[in-house]
Amino acid sequence: MTSLDHLLLLSALTVVVMLAIGNRQAVGWIATLLYSAQGMALLLMSDLGYGTAAAVQSGLSVQVLGHQLHWRFDALSWFFALITIGAALLSSWFSAGEWAQAYRRHGGSLRLFHTALALNVLSMLVLLASGDLLSLFIGWELVSWASFLIMALGSSTATRYAMRYLTYAFAGAMAVLGGLALVYSMVGSFQFQALKTAAPSMDSSSLWLLFLLFAAGFGVKMALLPFHLWQAKAYAETPGPGAAFLGAISSRMGLFAIAIVLVQLIGIARLVEMPIPFSFLSARDLLAWIAVFTIILPTFTALRQHDARRLLAWHGIGQGGYMLLGILIADDLGSAGGLMHVFNHATYQAMLFMTVIAVIHRTGTSDLNQLGGLVARMPLSFVAMLIGIIGLAGLPPMNGFVSKWLVYRSLILDGSPLLFLGAVIGTLGTILSVYKLIHNTFLGQLRLEHENVEEAPLSMILPMMILSAVVFITGYFPGLVLDWVATAQAAMGLPALAHHLGGVASDKGGLDMIWIVSILLAGFAIGTLVFFSGNRHKRVHQLDNYAGGHFLTAETRYQYSDNFYPGLMHLIGPWYRKSFRWLERGFVSTVDTVSMAMQGLYRQAHPSLYLLVVVVSALSWVVIQ
Amino acid sequence: MSMTELIIELTLMPLVAFVLGLGMVLMMRRIAARIQRRVGPPFLQPLYDIIKLYGKQTQISHGLIHEIGIIMAVGGYVAAETLLPVPGMNGLADKGGAITLAYVMMIPSLGLALGVGQCANPNGSIGISRALTAMLAYDIPFILVIFGAAYVYGTTNLADIIALQQQQGPGGWGIMQMPLLAIAGLLTLPAMMGKHPYEIYVAPAEIATGPMVEMGGKFMGGLFVMQCFQLYTVAVLYTTLFLGGGENWLTFLPKIFAVVAIPMSIAYVFPRYRTEDVVRLMWKWPVLVGLMGLAVIMK
């Protein structure tokens, strides 16, 4: 038994325990303990994360029809597993106290919830541990089913979108299976090494097919455009902390698989050599552009949401684009940015979901039109959300800035202005949208019915505070995470990022977050001094303000979130209403036409026409020959 | 460089920025006055204004976040100034670079937005929604300009960008190397400074709609200080990227004041644009010119 076996067994044990004792009130705490134990088991393997140990093999290996299936952990798996278990630990902690009571009161089953969560963790660990393409496929299927389980626990909307996800996931799995069959027919083995050795000498057309099959198959989980329509609603409606967990890590499994197959095995260098006919783009550019559109379109869709959870879920899709874009650049800076963004995004996304769920717990709604002014009632939740949105928007001093900086920096070095521009447009859209989120939840007018709302319970506040600390500290000292990232890069066969505790030193312009954050804090200190050098101020009631001659009363509701940015929507709104709808309709009608044609063919509706076609093509073949 | 020297630099840089920013505000007001055939304010008027605002007896706060917002607005710029090299002082230029500066410059906007949000005034929220939309509008051409400069000089370190330009003399200045990007930057400048004709979100004389609606006393004073820093930062950044920075203060000062004066003289002739027109305008001309400029430098 190796330490990897211990980890997987512990994870499996968690599933069994959750199934056995599921419906007790204390189940959340037991789950928290068990995830902590898994975390310990993972930390025992921390040599992997710092690159001082070779990959850990699992004792288990299975022989299926002459194919060896085996499982192992390397630095990349360790890095993803750390995020997975951390997210599960904090989510179950969050769920353990009052949330569990409320969930039960509203008819939810804690047994189902915690079993589904534990199954998710187990399946993700199995996927992360996969040592060959066949075990990767098994892990992939497990993850798909497990995430369906937890999504289907939610409201009827969630179930509907979970079903939609299932169709996508099936199609994706079939694509992956097709890819596997193709690999087997060309290479004759499912081992990673075999594909890696064979990839440089494969001919372009079959590699194109392989690339499309894998990118589409794994892209479904990442909700890459155009496979993004299922994710936001399914994640948003997942019950409470489940949404935090899914939002943090679930769709990153797609990124992991893409990183393994396309970056580690086939190699970016090979993708660059595959030009798209009649264009100056390569396969890598194609995927990079998909990543950029995955950043931009979902971000501006998020801007239009008025439900806090959907807004966050849409941003989750958009941020996935940065990660993919980063690892596709494949130099030391870009891929480090992409991988680090997985960690950073998980921390603030989980925290943001938690704050929103805490608000739902206290007020019963996440509809931004029915919230507002909660900052004085829930100050700690406000602080958590503030730190979270600064991270999500990618502004200093939080960790989200560092990973985005790395991606931007490498796009500049790479000389890709349009990709860079796309990435920045996404960030700017994010700032607009997260301001709307915090403004309409915590700032602005407090509603009458929320006059007596209290701060979220301690069991919810503590995980949020821990995550806030992580977001801030890994922004202050990004080297802590970059250590793991650099090892993961090395494990993927990419150049590892040379870094120090504060960031990156480079003669082409580096980044030292220790200095930047310190000077920001000093700046705020000076700002405070300047502020208090003025005359003494007095606090007034929120309704004591100037409204152009009107008297504001608590009955007059003026907090709004629909059409919060009318100036912008005036301009880009029509694109959503017209162009994208038009594209969607165009796509649907193309599929319709093809299906009609197929039906006609199958029923032999126009036999004479077919005869004509066959005769003409036969004749022309003869003529050409 | 010793630690003491660095600390002296880090203290001096924001101070110099503040004083020069006051001068720029004065100049801007004088230009506006001349165009409108007025005399304009006296030399120390900006300083008087700040002292008056901070000393006012009625200081209305709408809560802690209102105060923190103002602190962030001033503090963010204080930090940003240390990232901007000026003659004789490089500060933290090698720790951050152009991209970091661009993002640190968004912190004051976020602070202002948070502060206004806490005021719970519907007019304030409308103003912020317009201000953030304007930020989205002008940051896109601005970021193209940053990309171009970083690409041409092969570094994001602003001190190195200045050194590279000065080595080659005026022919090596950004404005000669990438004239189209310099034009795009010039078109973006007034919007980045939050001035005519892109100031609909402040709209001071028209309607009670804008971020300032609940700001009085030292809150307004904080925003005044922020405005000084904002003018200075934008001017120095443009000078750094396109005008070769300054070998010494004698050549530096005319450059940065000219960078503020030229667009201001033109801008005051125009009426204000509506928010959607700001977006449309910014996304059309500066972006178009900027993209053409990038196409030229990248061949």
Render pLDDT for A92-107 as a digit per residue (tens, 0 to 9): 999 998 998 998 888 8
Rank A43-47, A257-261, A330-334 by mean pLDDT and report only the highest: A257-261
Smallest Cβ distance to A412: which of B55, B113, B151?
B151
Cα–Cα distances in Å, from A603 out to A29, A593, A613, A614, B10?
A: 61, 15, 16, 17, 81
Pairing of strands B60-61, A538-539: parallel
Which residues on adjacent β-strands are paired with residue A597?
none
Which of A390, A398, A416, A422 shows the shortest CA–CA distance to A333? A416
pTM for the whole thing? 0.92
Mutation target vs A (from B133, B152, B158; most A CBs, 10 A cutoff)? B133
Residue B113 has what pLDDT?
92
Residue A206 has what pLDDT?
86
CA A262 from centroid of its chain's CA atoms: 18
Which of A294, A298, A211 shows the shortest CA–CA distance to A258? A211
Smallest Cβ distance to A568: which of B117, B133, B155?
B133
Residues whose CB falls within 8 Å of the CB of residue A374, separated by 6 or more in sequence, listed in order? A359, A363, A381, A382, A441, A442, A446, A450, A453
In Å, the largest CA–CA distance within chain A is 96
> Which domain range does residue A474 map to?
279-495
Q: Is residue B240 over pLDDT 70?
A: yes
Q: What is the ipTM of this complex?
A: 0.94
Q: What angle do CA B141, B142, B145 make, to 5 degrees?
A: 90
Q: 């820093």: which residue's tokens?
A: B229
Residue A61 lies in a domain: no
Q: What is the mean pLDDT of residues A494-512?
A: 88
Centre a 10 Å sphere on the Cβ of residue B44 and count the other Cβ atoms it contains.
Answer: 11
Residues whose CB falls within 8 Å of the CB of residue B72, separated by 6 or more in sequence, listed in order? A524, A527, B107, B108, B110, B111, B112, B114, B115
CA B96 from centroid of its chain's CA atoms: 18
Angle between helix A332-363 and A379-393 (nearest 10): 150
Q: Is residue A436 over pLDDT 70?
A: yes
Does any CB of chain B come closer than 8 Å to the CB of residue A539? yes
Model confidence at A548, pLDDT cuts 50, 70, 90, reads low
Model confidence at B91, pLDDT cuts 50, 70, 90, reads confident
Which of A267, A181, A270 shows the shortest CA–CA distance to A217? A181
Which of B215, B298, B174 shows the shortest CA–CA distance to A545? B215
Q: What is the mean pLDDT of residues A436-456?
A: 89
Centre a 10 Å sphere on the Cβ of residue A585 and count the other Cβ atoms it contains.
Answer: 11
Model confidence at B26, pLDDT cuts 50, 70, 90, reads very high
Residue B207 has what pLDDT?
55
Inter-residue contact B159 to B97 (CB < 8 Å): no
Q: Is residue A577 over pLDDT 70?
A: yes
Q: Nearest chain A Cα to B109, which residue?
A: A431
A470 and A618 share one domain: no
Residue A531 has what pLDDT?
92
Q: Is B2 left (phi over 0), alpha (psi -120 to 50) or beta?
A: beta
Residue A421 lies in a domain: yes
The residue type at A237: E
B78 interaction partners in chain A (CB closer than 8 Å): 522-523, 526-527
Per-position DSSP letters for A163-193, written without gaps between them: HHHHHHHHHHHHHHHHHHHHHHHHHS--BHH
Does any CB of chain B come closer than 8 Å to the CB of residue A554? no
Helices (H) and strands (E) in chain B, counts: 12, 1
Model confidence at B209, pLDDT cuts 50, 70, 90, reads low
Verify whether the Cβ–Cβ distance B59 to A421 is below 8 Å.
Answer: no
Verify whether the Cβ–Cβ distance B225 to A420 is below 8 Å.
Answer: no
Q: What is the mean pLDDT of residues A153-173?
A: 83
| A597 membership: H or E segment, kind and range | helix A581-603
Residue A89, token pair as written in the block: 């630990």
Q: Is residue A164 over pLDDT 90?
A: no
Q: What is the mean pLDDT of residues A228-253?
A: 87
A405 interaction partners in chain B (CB closer than 8 Å): 99-100, 103
Q: Is residue B16 over pLDDT 70?
A: yes
Q: What is the mean pLDDT of residues A243-268?
A: 90
Does any CB of chain B come closer than 8 Å to the CB of residue A394? yes
Does any CB of chain B come closer than 8 Å to the CB of residue A498? no
Higher pLDDT, A230 or A93: A93
Q: What is the mean pLDDT of residues A533-548?
A: 81
The count of domains in chain A is 2
Residue A238 lies in a domain: no
A495, A511, A536 — which closes off a domain? Answer: A495
Q: What angle do CA A88, A93, A97 make, to 5 degrees?
A: 145
B273 DSSP assignment: P
Model confidence at A235, pLDDT cuts 50, 70, 90, reads confident
The residue type at A178: G
A445, A478, A495 — which closes off a domain? Answer: A495
Verify whether the Cβ–Cβ distance B133 to A432 is below 8 Å.
Answer: yes
Q: What is the mean pLDDT of residues A436-442?
A: 92
Verify whether the Cβ–Cβ distance A537 to B218 is below 8 Å.
Answer: yes
Model confidence at B232, pLDDT cuts 50, 70, 90, reads very high
Measured CA to CA, the distance from residue B63 to residue A358 in angstroms comes to 22
Centre a 10 Å sphere on the Cβ of residue A586 and count the other Cβ atoms it contains.
Answer: 10
Residues whose CB falls within 8 Å of the CB of residue B235, separated by 6 or more in sequence, listed in order? B24, B256, B257, B259, B260
> Which domain range does residue B246 map to?
3-298
Residue A369 lies in a domain: yes
Smallest Cβ distance to A546: which of B80, B106, B214?
B214
Residue A525 lies in a domain: no
Q: What angle do CA A111, A117, A123 make, to 5 degrees?
A: 130
Q: 């001035």: which residue's tokens?
A: B195
Residue A409 lies in a domain: yes
Verify whether the Cβ–Cβ distance A417 to B294 is below 8 Å.
Answer: yes
The count of domains in chain B is 1
CA B154 from centroid of its chain's CA atoms: 24
Residue A337 lies in a domain: yes
Verify whether the Cβ–Cβ distance B61 to A538 is below 8 Å.
Answer: yes
Residue B284, token pair as written in the block: 């059309």
Model confidence at A330, pLDDT cuts 50, 70, 90, reads confident
Model confidence at A385, pLDDT cuts 50, 70, 90, reads very high
Inter-residue contact B82 to B91 (CB < 8 Å): yes
Measured CA to CA, the distance from residue A578 to residue A573 in angstroms comes to 9
Model confidence at A386, pLDDT cuts 50, 70, 90, reads very high
Smallest Cβ distance to A512: which of B95, B106, B140?
B95
Centre a 10 Å sphere on the Cβ of residue A488 and count the other Cβ atoms it contains.
Answer: 27
| A18 membership: H or E segment, kind and range | helix A3-21
Residue B80 has what pLDDT?
94
Measured CA to CA, the distance from residue B74 to residue B66 in angstroms comes to 13
Which residues on adjacent β-strands are paired with residue A72?
A57
Q: Is A220 left (phi over 0), alpha (psi -120 to 50) or beta?
A: alpha
Model confidence at A321, pLDDT cuts 50, 70, 90, reads very high
Peptide bond into B197 cis (omega under 30): yes
Inter-residue contact B296 to A417 (CB < 8 Å): no
B61 interaction partners in chain A (CB closer than 8 Å): 537-540
Residue B104 has what pLDDT?
93
Least-confidence region, from A50-64, B138-152, B161-175: A50-64
Verify whether the Cβ–Cβ distance B114 to A395 is below 8 Å.
Answer: no
Smallest Cβ distance to B103: which of A396, A435, A530?
A396
Phi, psi of B13 (to 5 degrees): -60, -50
Residue B229 has what pLDDT?
95
Verify whether the Cβ–Cβ distance A443 to B118 is below 8 Å.
Answer: yes
| Per-residue pLDDT tens over the stretch A405-432 | 999 999 988 888 899 999 999 999 999 9
Verify whether the Cβ–Cβ distance A421 to B298 is below 8 Å.
Answer: no
Does any CB of chain B come closer than 8 Å to the CB of residue A443? yes
B207 interaction partners in chain A (CB closer than 8 Å): 548
Q: Is the dihedral of CA A330, A335, A337, A341 positive or negative?
A: positive
Cα–Cα distances in Å, from A9 out to A15, A65, B15?
A: 10, 26, 62
| Per-residue pLDDT tens over the stretch A600-622 | 777 777 777 778 888 888 888 88
Measured CA to CA, the distance from residue A441 to residue A356 in angstroms comes to 9
Residues above pLDDT 70, as percent of chain A: 99
Residue A201 has what pLDDT?
84
With the CA atoms of B203, B208, B209 and B213 taken in that order, what torsion angle do they form, in degrees rounded to the nearest 10? 100
Please count the residue pairs, one from chain A and one from chain B, whose beta carbons lie less than 8 angstroms apart.
255
Which of A319, A313, A325 shows the shortest CA–CA distance to A366? A313
Does any CB of chain B come closer than 8 Å to the CB of residue A448? no
In angstroms, the separation between the Cα of residue A548 and the nearest Cα of chain B is: 6
Model confidence at B185, pLDDT cuts 50, 70, 90, reads very high
3-class secondary structure, B227:
helix
Q: Is residue B81 over pLDDT 90?
A: yes
Which of A338, A216, A323, A211 shows the shortest CA–CA distance to A276? A211
Angle between helix A332-363 and A479-491 (nearest 10): 120
Verify whether the Cβ–Cβ distance B63 to A396 is below 8 Å.
Answer: no
Residue A142 has what pLDDT?
92
Inter-residue contact A480 to A501 (CB < 8 Å): yes
Higher pLDDT, B268 or A213: A213
Q: What is the CA radius of gyration of chain B?
A: 19
Higher pLDDT, A87 or A451: A87
Inter-residue contact A344 to A277 (CB < 8 Å): no
Does any CB of chain B come closer than 8 Å to the CB of residue A597? no
B60 interaction partners in chain A (CB closer than 8 Å): 537-538, 540, 544
Per the prediction, chain A carries an average pLDDT of 88
Per the prediction, chain B carries an average pLDDT of 89
Q: 């991988």: which residue's tokens?
A: A339
Residue A204 lies in a domain: no
